[in-house]
Structure 1
Amino acid sequence: MRFAPGADKLVCEHCGHEEPVTAGAGTGADTIESLTAIPSTRTRNKHLTEHDYQAALADALPPTAMEEVRTVTCPSCGASFEFDPHVHAAECPFCATPIVTDTGAHRQIKPQALVPFQLTEVQARAAMTKWLGRLWFAPNGLVQYARKGRALTGIYTPYWTFDADTRSTYTGQCGVAYYETRTVTVQVDGRNQTRQEQVRKIRWYPAAGTVARRFDDVLALASTSLPRGYVDALEPWDLSGLEAYRPDYLAGFRAEGYSVGLEEGHSIARVKMDRVIEQDVRRDIGGDEQRIHSIDTTATNETFKHVLLPIWMAAYKYRGKSYRFVVNGQTGKVRGERPWSWWKIAGAVLVAAVAIGVVVYLKQNQ
């Protein structure tokens, strides 16, 4: 049985038999009852709960929040992902390196929620080939190869989401613009002439204050298998589509284990929060320009979730070079390595040179 993207059901690929996704089979946040599982009052997903971040740092999460998983790490690209218990050999979905599994297992924080795949493999492939087709100077052969090549791989990619209440005190300066008139001398037809012009200047005033913001579901990629720039470019994700984790959603897909730990993920999220806080400070300072000397932020009520988000991935080798592409399995947004056709580039340069030559020729004849 395989989960059918866009439908809340499992489908047998051989006989077409259908079954609904098992209700109440969650092993994530919806089954945890402890002081460290805090009902989410801020998230749009009221049926999910949050883990207390400080409790996790103190290794005080309840046993029900943890699980023992059998994962394998690719010796080539370093990707970490789960194998079914009965699988002993396969290939890495990220770089196609053959892998033999071992019997090792380790404990990790359970996924609490996931966004189920909404796009089928056919739809994801169509989005990717359309994206490739819009790229100027992309090789036509690669586009055709991608359209007919090997199937895309569906991967549930690990993320951390963080919530926090922040309060930031700042010092800086508020700049107010004013204009002064000055006289300048310019040459016109070989003779000096004077004229007046307005010069913009800034008058600075000291500024200090406090801003507060409540953050909800700030994402931090918990994987190092794919280039962060590619995966970050797949945002935004609609996290209102998060569902409590159920193994049925993973049927027919792979789930990658997190390789970015909770503390590192928290640091990534705090960088995102700090950017927003800086914009809040600039708005609070006001004026025409702002200088920020210091920002001191205190975060409280910090909570987190471990979630899985759907990504279709393709890796193609075309004329000796590898190309990787990722497709948001919820929205169809595509990013990947930019292919170039040097024949197309040379042709464009030739056409441009001819056009310039024609223009020069016509001007000379005039």
Structure 2
Amino acid sequence: MSDVRDDLVRTRCDACGSQLAYVPGTQHLRCGACGGEVEIVHAAGDAVDEHSFDAWAAAQEGSRAGLLEDRLLTCDGCGATTRGTDLSAACRFCGGHLVAVAEADGHVQPEAVVPFGVEQARAREAFRRWVRSRPFAPSELKKVGDTESLHGSYVPHWTFDAETSSSYTGQRGDEYHVTVKDGDEERQERRVSWTPVSGRVERSFDDVLVPASSQVSETDLRRLGPWALEDAVPFRAEYLAGYSAARYEVEPAAGLERAKATMAKAITADVRRDIGGDEQRVGSVATAYTDVMFKLVLLPLWIATYVYAGRQWQVMVNANTGQVVGRRPFSAVKITVAVLVVLLVVVALVLWYVTSRT
């Protein structure tokens, strides 16, 4: 296992020794006690680079790079050590920030980060609005937004670029109409003439996004999007100070297969357009992928977890755009009352109609 004792971001204020944390929407860390600030400095020429997937795969052949390994991290505050697989976490003894500067050997380094752009206060207000706008929510739920704390976390994602060339076979359907007699009446019937076709379509893909962690469901992450990837900056560990950051669990090869599934949907749509006509039947599509590039990017989330009726519920705020997605309970009493009201209205309308006809 890889031990990392010194490769940590120093998150203690030089002036008072308190914790520094990244301030959303800025390029600096701020001390929670004295308000002192430290600028996040990027090296000259620092840029978000993408890497050749083929070159990476060849270099990894036969290695154990994909395995999650515990790492030894030492708190720069109290000196306590802890093991874990996360890139950033809190010290379990003093609450200090543990932020690793570099990944363990063989693991893919984050190339980019979309920093927190939505402050906690704004996220909490968005959370409150979301909670209070839920229909048939229990009355107790309305109070949650006032008391629940939000936890900031970065979720790892892969992005993939590729040049694709796809050969296809299928059928083009062109509609026409015929006159059909039915006794003394005539009517027009639609028919389709099918013609075998084949061809080739090409498409360039850029930044196809694939979640690389099971921390949040893929369905929720899709609903939280789209992410403003143009806000991504070259990765600096300082952006993680004060937030948790999970390591990727989905390996690049598995991520590429998921990306190809996303690309296939767009390619099929291109094939249908290329076939033309009024209807299309797609028989086969064979796609060649070239110049496949990838990178690991960290995307920011505010996450609130609350308990209601003995069950955990989770609400998330996209800390890049402010989009809110979550789960919530329903009030059986409110639903029953609403159904009864609708039934009473229907009965009243029926009685009014019957009375007015007599």
Q: Which amino acid aligns with 1:272?
A: T
Q: Is the 8 A contact 1:70 1:82 kept in 2?
A: no
Aligned residue in 2 for 1:335? 325
CA shift for structure 1 position 232: 1.6
SS at match of 1:223: coil
Q: Is the 8 A contact 2:70 2:85 kept in 1?
A: no
Work out which of the residue numbers 149, 169, 172 in structure 1 matches 2:170. Answer: 172
Aligned residue in 1 for 2:290? 300
Aligned-residue Cα RMSD (Å) equals: 2.7
Aligned residue in 1 for 2:216? 226
Q: Which amino acid aligns with 2:126?
A: A
- For residues 1-366 of structure 1, what are the structure 2 equivalents within 5 Å? 1-24=20-43, 47-59=47-59, 70=71, 81-83=86-88, 87-88=91-92, 107-145=106-144, 147-184=145-182, 195-365=185-355, 366=357
Gaps of 5+ in 2: 1-19, 74-83, 96-103
Q: Is the 8 A contact 2:88 2:241 kept in 1?
A: no
SS at match of 2:303: strand
Partners of 1:320 and 1:161 in 2: CA distance: 38
Q: Which sits farther off after the overlay, 176-185 or 245-254? A: 176-185
Count residues in correspondence: 315
SS at match of 1:358: helix
Q: TM-score, normalised by structure 2?
A: 0.81
SS at match of 1:353: helix
SS at match of 1:356: helix
Q: TM-score, normalised by structure 1?
A: 0.80
User: C-alpha deviations, 1:34-57, integer Å up to 9, x for none?
Assistant: xxxxxxxxxxxxx32111101221
CA shift for structure 1 position 234: 1.0
Q: Which amino acid aligns with 1:333?
A: Q
Partners of 2:268 and 2:93 in 1: CA distance: 49
Q: Is the 8 A contact 2:167 2:286 kept in 1?
A: yes
Partners of 1:302 and 1:196 in 2: CA distance: 59
Q: Which amino acid aligns with 1:129?
A: R
Relative to structure 1, is the Cα distance of residues 253 and 83 closer, same or farther in structure 2, using a 3 angstrom cutoff? closer
Structure 1 outlier segments of 4+, above 6 Å: 65-69
Q: Which amino acid aligns with 1:279?
A: A
SS at match of 2:165: strand
Q: Which sits farther off after the overlay, 175-184 or 153-162? A: 175-184
User: C-alpha deviations, 1:240-296, integer Å up to 9, x for none?
Assistant: 111000011111111111011111111111100000000000000011110000000
Q: Which amino acid aligns with 1:270?
A: K
Q: Which sits farther off after the overlay, 229-238 or 159-168? A: 229-238
Partners of 1:289 and 1:18 in 2: CA distance: 62
Partners of 2:251 and 2:94 in 1: CA distance: 26
Aligned residue in 1 for 2:14? none
Aligned residue in 1 for 2:8? none
Partners of 1:90 and 1:344 in 2: CA distance: 45
Aligned residue in 2 for 1:190? none
SS at match of 2:86: strand
Q: Is the 8 A contact 1:71 1:82 kept in 2?
A: no
Partners of 2:88 and 2:178 in 1: CA distance: 71
User: C-alpha deviations, 1:7-34, integer Å up to 9, x for none?
Assistant: 2221111111122222229xxxx77xxx
SS at match of 1:283: helix
